Homo-oligomer: A and B are copies of this chain.
Amino acid sequence: MKTFIAPNPAYEDAVRKMLLSMPFVRWLGLSFEHIAPGRVDFIMPNRPEITFDGKAVQAGPIGALLDFAGGAAAFTLAPLGVMLATIDFSVKLLAPAIGDRFLGRGQVLSAGKSLIVARADTFVLGKLEEIHVATGLVTMRALA
């Protein structure tokens, strides 16, 4: 995997502040597990409001987790003061999203001046293994 250098040395603080200022991030209960240049891992707890049937998380919230993971990974590479906005994301479900806690992982694949592309994945954290629940791509655009 490509290695990235963060143009903003205070990228970790910037990512935490930006993401945790978002009401929907707080409502989903996302917490940071890992932050590095081009890479962010979130933990998302399960809760009945985002499930289909009290157990399996719906595609929509899984997509929101992918968007936040990919977007936050991209934001680690934003210069100081530059805001990013999602221009697209895709969600492919690979296995039922059943479990207590989910890992959302964003990994930047390419970072240009105006566009940053990240891969995003969701895993359910089980006692014995991680199961790959969903994958997708997130594209972010720098706002002038």
Contact = CB atoms under 8 A, between A and B. Distances in A.
Interface of A: 2, 22-24, 27, 48-52, 58-61, 63-65, 67-68, 71, 85-95, 109-110, 114-115, 117, 119, 132, 135-137, 139, 141
A114 to B, nearest CB: 7
B52 A22 contact: yes
A115 B87 contact: yes
Contacts of A50: 23-24
Contacts of A135: 109, 117, 119, 137
Q: How many copies does the complex hold?
A: 4
A76 B51 CA distance: 21
A137 B86 CA distance: 16
Given A2-B132, A60-B68, A90 B137 contact: yes
Contacts of A91: 63, 67, 86, 88-90
B117 A94 contact: yes
B49 A59 contact: no
B61 A49 contact: no
B86 A89 contact: no
B139 A88 contact: yes
